[in-house]
Amino acid sequence: MVDLVFKKGRIVFLDGVREGDLVVNGGLIEEITLDYRGEAVRTIDCQGKFIFPGVIDSHVHMRVPGALYKEDFTTGSMAGVSAGVTGFLDMPNNTPPIISRKMLSEKRDLIGDNSFANYGFFFGATDDNFDEIKRIENIAGVKIFMGESTGNLIVRSDETIENIFSYGKFPVVVHAESQECLTRFAQQYAGEDARARSDFHSAVRPPECAREAVKHILHLAKKYNARVHIAHVSTAEELDVIRKFKSEKVTCEATPHHLIFDVSAYEKLGMRGKVNPPLRSSEDREALWAAIADGTIDVIASDHAPHLPSEKDVPYEQSSAGFPGIETMLPIVLDAVNRGLLDLPRAAKLLCDNPARIFGVKNKGHIEVGFDADLVVLDMEIERVVDNAKIMSRCGWTPYHGMMLKGWPISTIIGGEVIYEGAKFVSASRGREFRFS
């Protein structure tokens, strides 16, 4: 007798959607067949529903350590699991930043068994911690901030970047905004009149700064034939550069907020729309969708960066950059599928398989016999309004409040166990730290 059978589901593979039965046993996908006749502890009727790989959100900020009042691994993972995220990769710009083996060990101890989803970590680069990078184990990659963002992590030295690229053990994820360029524009827009502009944040961190950083980092990566992943690409100018360097080792991601919002959203969001990199023009937003269609963009990741409303609804200088996104990412993509902007197999590559492949997450990312049974059941007909009152993230709000989205996850399965269904958690099972190849 097997543990679990999904009957008559529309199974989303990377090369198409095919109806069948999916058999789970011992936490793994044991069989995929047209009509399973064996016995099971539990059978789930999936007729009319889609069986999708578990989503891996490869860019989140869970605020552990240092800011647990905004989010921790319990609240953040619950938010993700409720919306089909079975695993995530956490960034290192914490307080203090994760830049040593000791700090990473302490972070692991803080998390313990408090995450409902599987998880992994990025390690922060500085101008003087290369020896630590050479000694670290089991991480998703090394994060380089070329420009200042939340926290105080930044790498200013090309020698440091070249050392990391030449070492080559880990993928390198880059926040690509040139600090020199950001400083130049900050000086240019220093007057009070400029700060009165609703789109001031976008003006002071323009596409030019992102383009300069992307071009610079990709030239260095090419020199060492290194793996580099450009985080939260937001402009057509960046994409033009990336296409010139594109290879299996040069990958990039887009966020839902850069796909949905442009500078016109400041009118509604105010300071809640402040994010790094900032919201861009409608032409940039359209360029991102075109890059998804042509394969230039490899990943959609949330850049989940929760702050309390009280930290957002303040004057520009005090307002924190970033907002939550882990529990709205999959519904936003499914709504885009319903609107014909992409199909489900492409969504599975962007949200599941490519994150696993790029960062070396073992045995996850798509539906295949022998792979871990991390799965999501989708109802593509459900229409639901995003509501601040129903947000599970500790920050308690979302920039997508009031949006009607069509297509929602209804069950989340991790390691063959149903964790979330019927709009509630049905298991106390906890996630595990990813193992990386």
What residues are labeled active site? 303
d(CA 158, CA 49): 50
d(CA 412, CA 427): 11
d(CA 93, CA 352): 24
Pairing between β-strand 40-45 and β-strand 85-90 as defined by DSSP bridges: unpaired
Q: Is the separation of the CB atoms in 53 and 347 below 8 Å?
A: no
d(CA 348, CA 236): 24
Q: Which residues contact 361 (CB under 8 A, 6 or more apart)?
A: 56, 87, 120, 140, 355, 434, 435, 436, 437
Angular region, 8: left φ>0, alpha ψ -120 to 50, beta rest: left
Q: Is 17 exposed, middle or buried (0-12, 13-18, 19+ CB in 10 A)?
A: middle
Four-CA torsion 65, 163, 154, 236, nearest 10 degrees: -110
d(CA 18, CA 20): 6
What's the Cα-to-Cα distance from 332 to each of 231, 287, 413, rounded to whole Å? Answer: 19, 18, 20
Task: Please compute, for residue 200, the number of CA atoms within 13 A of its CA located in the half-sphere on the CB side.
Answer: 19
